[in-house]
Each structure stands twice: as structure tokens, then as C-alpha cells.
Amino acid sequence: MDKHLHGRVLTALVILIATSQPVSGQVGRFSVDGPKPATLEALIDFSSVIVEATVESAYPVIDRPPEVTSDFLIRVNKVVKGNLTSNQIAVHQAGGTLPGGRIAEPMQYSIMVPGERYILFLDANPPATLPNRGVPRYLLAAGFYGLVKVEGNQVVWPKGIPEAWKTTYRFGPNDLIASIQARSQGR
């Protein structure tokens, strides 16, 4: 390889590494990739199970460099779409708090918190490499789009969802559940 070309390639590589974003698993903030449904209807169709639920507890963080992930024990208050065999499930989420208080936080959403209420759009096909939690296991559907926090009479879409989506789908929890049920029954 030409000496000048080799130098330019090395310079480009150094610039690329120096300006790259943190990846999942590094302590700090990171970005989560995944499908981004264009509409609420697409998110409903993509989700095999949708529940209104409360986070009961968090399992110890899974620190498998370069990934940091968390599992949560969820109490299902209501199945909105699909079928479940248990009123408790485990839901897997990227990010978490490591021993010593270090936090790996996704930029697009907040980590679930015990005691908080959510409407969860779920994927029933988690990777087989995740720990067995003794209850059925799910992933958030469509990445962070599947995590909708309930605060009083409002739903709070994750911070990474476009503002146009949040404006279009500004619902109370009962209206969102009714929309999900209407879409699910019509299919």
C-alpha cells in the first residue's frame, strides 16, 4: 500500500474512533436501534402481546460487555392484546444501574422503575441466551417504542419518539387501551 494512502487511512480511522458514539454496554448514555413503526397501528400489529402493568422489582443488572441490560419482574394488571399464561412476566430492557452506582442510560427512554405503571407493547421472542427468571419472558416491541409510561390520566411516550408521534397519539391510558383493543379486534 502506498505510504501516503496508508497514512490517510490511519488518520481517517483515528477520526472515526474519536468521534464515534458510545455503544450499548459502555457506562454513560447510548443509542438503541430497532424498528421504528410509522404509526400506532403498525406498533400494535407488530406487538404479539400488549399489557397494562406495574413494575414489581428489578433483577440484578446483566453486565456482559459490551452490553448492559436489565430485567424487570412485571405484574400484569390487564392483557390488552394477546394471551398470557401468568400474571407475572419478565421484561428485558437495554441499560441499567451497575454496582457502584454507575449508570448505562439509553438516550431514547428511561429505565423502568419498580412501582411505576406502564402500557407495554411486547415481543414474545426474546433471545435464548437471557437468564431464566422463572416466569414468561418478553422484550419491548419495536425497541423503545414499546415502553409507554402511565402518569395519572396521561400516557408518556419515550423521549426518543418524534414529537409528531407524541402529538398525534396524545391519549389518556383508557383511550390508548381502547384504541389497541379496537385495532386488535378488527384484525
> What cell does 12 get?
481517517
Positive or negative CA dihedral for 101, 68, 33, 92?
negative
Residue 66: partners with Cβ closer than 8 Å, 6 or more residues away: 23, 24, 25, 26
Q: Would you state the pLDDT for residue 163?
A: 92
Q: Which of 43, 82, 77 is nearest to 150 (CA)?
A: 77
| Max CA separation in the chain (angstroms) | 66
Predicted confidence pLDDT, tens digits, the chain (187 residues): 444 333 333 323 222 223 233 333 334 433 445 668 889 999 999 999 999 999 999 998 888 877 888 999 999 999 999 999 999 999 999 888 888 877 888 888 888 999 999 999 999 888 888 899 999 999 998 888 999 999 999 999 998 889 998 999 999 999 999 999 999 987 6
Q: Which domains does the chain have, with CATH numbers?
A: 23-185 (2.40.50.120)
Q: Would you state the pLDDT for residue 28?
A: 46
